[in-house]
């Protein structure tokens, strides 16, 4: 395959500042050099490339939109989105790692933590010295986290956590878990450190999607944590939902990177693969697939660009983020499926990035709110009517 070119049919690059392009190109180059050559192996072996964590940190990709005073890059949200796009072009597992570390661990500590928690944890998470995870989903509560069963009871100067979380990215390798539990009916956030008595994080094996990402259960068996590990400003279900908005924003950009990788691989293949004495790219049915991919990626780019500018102006509504996560993930998955088709038998081989992206995107369609849950969120926003229940 040739060097990654990106997709810029509508000159969306012209909408970016010089600094935004520079951030994008720096991460793009790093992904091409360091990640792309090894992601198929990690996918096959179901391992995360741990050695890349310090390099990702050096690029400033963890909590990239958080302030520099905590060791973060202080980027604007469009630059952050471009970072996610480039990481996911490498693999959804890389973007997932950065999403969780930044949007789901550093963000809640910054938004709901005490000064002491912020000063202690954020710089260590930004530098990759510490790894975090985010526990909201439970075995019996995925789309409806408001009904969670995990409980927090205050005993003297300790909180006692009891319950289980499931499908938690990075759980087994995390030094710190941001855990959501109910205290007297109200959701609150807690910081649980690895090694705390009563806390374990077994890995979930046998995934056929996001194989280059660690996924785990979190188990709390009367797990006692100090009083000071409560996130003091967390208040109700809205607190984790605000974290999800950050991560969903990153996914809306990220999946375009996976789609672009599939589009480029399919386009190049269609120009060199000869059947019936001509390149398959010369057949109308193949062109139809390529034009679908280009059109949808281009529309997706315009969507997230506008979303990013709205976020920078603090004018964003969570339903707009839902619309972008829902649309871009669906078109990325469809792009991957069409690209796989264009490669024929080669489309199912890890020699090409397509089947890996396609399998990954199946999980991306489910996590951070399923496609259908985002339909209901946008539906509620436009009708004023709740169709969840």
Task: Give the active site residues.
Answer: 368
Apex CA 335: angle with CA 331 and CA 340, to 5°? 150
CB-neighbour burial class of residue 312 (10 A; exposed 0-12, middle 13-18, buried 19+) = middle
Q: CB-wise, 14 or 386, nearer to ligand FAD?
A: 386
**Residue position matching structure tokens 């990709």:** 61
CA-wise closest residue to 220 among 193, 184, 243: 193
Least distance from ligand FAD to the Cβ atom of residue 77, Å: 21
DSSP states of 179-233: EEEEETTEEEEEEEETT-TTEE-PBP---SSSTTS-EEEEEEEEEEEEGGGB-TT
Binding partner of 239, given ligand TGC, ligand FAD, none, CB within 5-8 angstroms per partner class: none
Least distance from ligand FAD to the Cβ atom of residue 64, Å: 19
Query: Quick one: which of 121, 250, 367, 374 contacts ligand FAD (CB under 6 A)?
Result: 367
Q: How many residues bind ligand FAD (CB under 6 A)?
A: 22
CA separation for the pair 202, 168 (Å, rounded): 10
**Residue position matching structure tokens 């009871």:** 153
Alpha-carbon torsion angle 6, 7, 13, 18, nearest 10: 0
Q: CB-wise, 102 or 369, nearer to ligand FAD?
A: 369
Residue window 348-377: x/- pattern of binding to ligand TGC, with contact defined by CB under 6 A: -------------------xxx---x---x
Binding partner of 244, given ligand FAD, ligand TGC, none, CB within 5-8 angstroms per partner class: ligand TGC
Cα–Cα separations (whole angstroms), residue 285 to 53, 288, 330: 42, 5, 21
Tell which positions 158-197 bind ligand FAD, by CB under 6 A. 167-169
Binding partner of 372, given ligand TGC, ligand FAD, none, CB within 5-8 angstroms per partner class: ligand FAD
Q: CB-wise, 109 or 286, nearer to ligand FAD?
A: 109
Specify the length of the chain in residues. Answer: 389
Query: Quick one: which of 241, 310, 330, 378 contacts ligand TGC (CB under 6 A)?
Result: 241
- Asked if 210 is part of the footprint of ligand FAD (rule: CB under 6 A), the reply reads yes
CB-neighbour burial class of residue 384 (10 A; exposed 0-12, middle 13-18, buried 19+) = exposed
- Measured in whole angstroms, how far is the alpha carbon of residue 288 from the centre of its chain? 30
Tell which positions 134-163 bind ligand FAD, by CB under 6 A. 134-137, 142-143
- Asked if 137 is part of the footprint of ligand TGC (rule: CB under 6 A), the reply reads yes
Q: CB-wise, 71 or 132, nearer to ligand TGC?
A: 132
Query: Residue 234 phi/psi, 5° resolution?
Result: -75, 135
Q: CB-wise, 43 or 134, nearer to ligand FAD?
A: 134
Binding partner of 366, given ligand FAD, ligand TGC, none, CB within 5-8 angstroms per partner class: ligand FAD
- Asked if 121 is part of the footprint of ligand FAD (rule: CB under 6 A), the reply reads no
**Rg from Cα positions in the chain:** 21
Q: How many residues bind ligand TGC (CB under 6 A)?
A: 23
| Residue nearest ligand FAD, Cβ-based | 142
Least distance from ligand TGC to the Cβ atom of residue 139, Å: 13
Q: CB-wise, 83 or 168, nearer to ligand FAD?
A: 168
CB-neighbour burial class of residue 107 (10 A; exposed 0-12, middle 13-18, buried 19+) = buried
Residue window 224-243: x/- pattern of binding to ligand FAD, with contact defined by CB under 6 A: --------------------
Least distance from ligand TGC to the Cβ atom of residue 318, Å: 3
- Burial 11-37, CB ≥16 within 10 A → b, else e: eeeeebeeebeebbeebbebbeebbbe
Q: CB-wise, 298 or 370, nearer to ligand FAD?
A: 370
CB 263 within 8 A of CB 290: yes
| Contact set with ligand TGC (CB under 6 A) | 96, 99-100, 134, 136-137, 143, 145-146, 169, 238, 241-242, 244-245, 247, 318, 367-369, 373, 377, 388
| Contact set with ligand FAD (CB under 6 A) | 100, 134-137, 142-143, 167-169, 210, 215, 363, 366-370, 372-373, 376, 388
């Amino acid at each position: 395959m040739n060097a990654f070119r990106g997709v810029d049919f509508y000159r969306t690059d012209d909408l970016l500042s010089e600094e935004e392009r520079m951030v994008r190109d720096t991460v793009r180059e790093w992904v091409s050099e360091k990640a792309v050559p090894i992601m198929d192996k990690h996918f096959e072996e179901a391992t995360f490339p741990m050695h890349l964590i310090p390099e990702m940190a050096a690029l400033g990709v963890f909590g990239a939109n958080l302030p520099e005073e905590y060791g973060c890059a202080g980027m604007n949200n469009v630059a952050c989105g471009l970072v996610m796009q480039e990481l996911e072009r490498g693999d959804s597992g890389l973007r997932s790692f950065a999403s969780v570390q930044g949007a789901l661990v550093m963000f809640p500590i910054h938004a709901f933590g005490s000064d002491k928690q912020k000063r202690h944890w954020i710089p260590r998470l930004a530098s990759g010295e510490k790894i975090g995870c985010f526990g909201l989903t439970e075995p019996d509560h995925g789309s409806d986290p408001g009904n969670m069963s995990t409980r927090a009871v205050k005993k003297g100067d300790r909180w006692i956590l009891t319950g289980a979380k499931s499908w938690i990215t990075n759980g087994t390798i995390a030094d710190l878990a941001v855990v959501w539990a109910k205290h007297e009916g109200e959701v609150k956030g807690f910081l649980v450190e690895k090694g705390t008595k009563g806390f374990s994080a077994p890995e979930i094996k046998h995934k056929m999607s996001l194989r280059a990402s660690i996924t785990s259960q979190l188990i709390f068996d009367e797990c006692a944590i100090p009083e000071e590990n409560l996130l003091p400003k967390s208040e109700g279900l809205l607190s984790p939902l605000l974290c999800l908005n950050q991560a969903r924003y990153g996914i809306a950009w990220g999946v375009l990177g996976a789609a672009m990788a599939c589009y480029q691989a399919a386009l190049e293949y269609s120009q060199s693969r000869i059947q019936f004495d001509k390149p398959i790219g010369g057949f109308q049915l193949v062109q139809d697939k390529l034009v679908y991919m280009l059109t949808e990626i281009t529309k997706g780019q315009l969507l997230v660009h506008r979303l990013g500018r709205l976020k920078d102006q603090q004018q964003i509504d969570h339903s707009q983020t839902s619309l972008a996560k829902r649309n871009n993930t669906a078109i990325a998955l469809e792009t991957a499926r069409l690209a796989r088709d264009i490669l024929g038998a080669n489309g199912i081989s890890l020699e090409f990035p397509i089947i890996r992206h396609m399998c990954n995107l199946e999980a991306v369609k489910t996590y951070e709110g399923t496609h259908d849950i985002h339909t209901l969120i946008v539906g509620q926003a436009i009708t004023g009517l709740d169709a969840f229940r």
